[in-house]
Chain A
Amino acid sequence: MSTPAFVSVDDARDRLGATGYLASEDIATTAYLAAVLGRPLLVEGPAGVGKTALAGALAAATDSAMLRLQCYEGVDEARALYEWNHAKQLLRITAEQSGGWDDVRTDIFGEEFLLERPLLAAVRAQRPTVLLIDELDKADEELEGLLLELLSEFQITIPELGTIRAAHRPMVVVTSNASRELSEALRRRCLFLHIDYPDAELEQRIVKSHVPDLDDELAASLVRVIGALRGLDLRKAPSVAETVDWASTLVSLDADRLDPELVRRSLGVILKHRSDIELATTKLDLDRELAG
């Protein structure tokens, strides 16, 4: 195994920060451990808190290539791992009609006819790699079975070629929105990280780093309002991504403080259901102007 990507938790946090990803203590610690112990990382949490972004930041911070497998219902071996280039194989067979059987038999399952998909590419990569397996919960359970060998041994077995072992152990990040329960076998192979909404102080820094023009006081109120909305019983609670969107909306509207009219007009940026908007309007009493 090559040298670890990070030398300490502080190093992990600083280098992630340098790529624009402000990590909480929990995130920095777990990312550091994943790098040092060489374990895959299973990241769960609400949508929009930066699960996928973490993989990108890890790649940038460790100067690695990034490979991504986006999962969806029906993603299979051929999309995830490898596929034989059938057309090319057929061409080879027809081109070799005069040739000997032995030539063709050995040749058509050579590397030349192999189409790499993300998992195989990660194993065969010649330089450090971050492999992101995004939204694994959307894929069928068979795919998890396929991943087990990769996640525990960092190798892949192709019947016709044999077992391929990773030269550079890739850093694997698996994300899930918990729309379905992942198998115990898969969970056991990973370090587990639950990313929740950041605390107010961190969220304020995240917003400021994305929207530098934002006034400090406005940023503070913004984050407080978002925090209060998350406490409500909403169908889709606003996430960090929405906070940032809202901040840039307010900046583009030249706002210097939150007033009910302004919030009412821009609520659609953070809330995506009509019932949620109604609930927030009641909670924040937006139909009444500020007193005084």
Chain B
Amino acid sequence: MRGARSAKWVAIAAVVALSATACGGGSGDGGSDGGNKAAIDPNGTFTVESGEPENPLQPANTMESYGSIVINSLFTGLVDYDSSGKIVYMNAESVDTKDSKTFTVKLKSGWKFHDGTPVTAESYVKAWNWAAAPANKQTNSFWFSDIKGYDQVAPESGAPKAKELSGLKVVDDTTFTIELTKAIPYFVYKLGYQVFSPLPESFYADPKAAGEKPIGNGPYKFVSWDHKKAITVAKNADYKGSNAAKNGGVVFKNYSTPETAYEDLKSGNLDVITQVAPKDLPVYKQDLGDRAVDQAYSAIQSIAPAFYSKQFKDINPKVIQGLSRAIDRDTITKTVLQGTREPATGWVAKGVLGYEPDAAGDVTKYDPAAAKALIKEGGGVPGNAITIQFNADGGHKEWVEAVCNSITNATGVKCSGDSKADFQADLQARKAKEVKSFYRSGWVLDFPMNANFIRDLFGTKSDGNQSGFSNKTLDASIAAADSAPTLDESVKKYQEIEKQLPNYMPSIPLWYYKINAGYSEKVSGVQFGQDGDPILTGVQVKKK
């Protein structure tokens, strides 16, 4: 989570925090050149602020953003999204389905890996089978769990009963089919995530070595990885995709803190930064002028009640509604958060398909009188005191205190922060169901559709559901939305579900994230995708 990263002087802490949510999400290829008149050098290279990836550079093994940004530059999957959340076909010619359960993928011909071998249907099927097998210990292997046969390859307990996913079948060199265990109208969206990248045959000879020197099929070729210093990639001249690089290559330079990266940006040693440290936020727009970036991206911060706790077991949702209305989001985002966030008006972040403004209705509007009335109506907050659990290493302390003050001032409910030393400890308390009252929760998109912000957080058995929230009616609505015959209908049904959420209050949405970043005078056309990463291929380097 980027918010976690920005405030900590050692970004490392945040890398861990990042892995929390900064997975995935593709990036649309915007890339206008920003009306710049300077001559462009198509072979010029530039540097981007980054850090040491957590894992070897294998597509299915990369969760945090330092690795993701490199993987995304080296691999191109079947599909990608544009900035409004619409599907763009990349390596796929088409992905067809009649029942949202069996998909036929046709590949564009002529695509090659960087080692010259062709990208075939086999390159995908074999890669997915390899990544899904628990023996290969890929951190993102659960992404294949929708595909038929996953329970055989990775059974809940005991030895695997099969080596390959029975739902994947190669038809010919450029065609394969995917069969799911049940219909998912938006499965095509998931295919945009880098875990579904193809792998060349050479990968399997030594996957570990391949993670050090990845061979992909994307707009950039891997050049070198100087551990803890930099990763260099160069333009792939043979690239067939629509997002061919407009520059000669990228150097991902390691920075331990956003402050140092900002200094290097100012002194001309760095071209693109991905975040501005809180210390520099008040001045960065003045320093950088029109090279300062201030843009929304698809992530949301909220606080979630621990529904398993004594306090919130069988709570009347009106109480949580009341607490939500006691939070003055406008003032807090403007003052404490220095305009780096935008008040949330629903549970689905901006920039994804199905986002609707004001989806939560009145619930996110500040109104102390209504807040008091709602809490009273709902029977009051048990104990008349709440705590918000957060990790102290992520820069959350300030806003947690501000939210607490706002709640106490408006309703008289006592509120205090429950600080855990770091993200690891915070996570452990959540996993062990030891959260006393509320905990801080953040979510960055996996794929740009509203289902990702509803189903994956509030479904009883969803991966992201750590609050113990469970509601049969909502589960049934989610199941109905998932079995909708078309994507559009599924999106609509999820929009209806979002409108119902105030009746359940599975969490209190606080604000949407924004990207506060910047770039040097050497480059132009720098844009950021919904996932918060810069769109590298669109960057243009000026002639010296």
Q: Do A and B bind each other?
A: no
Chain B positions within 8 Å of A, measured between CB atoms, are none
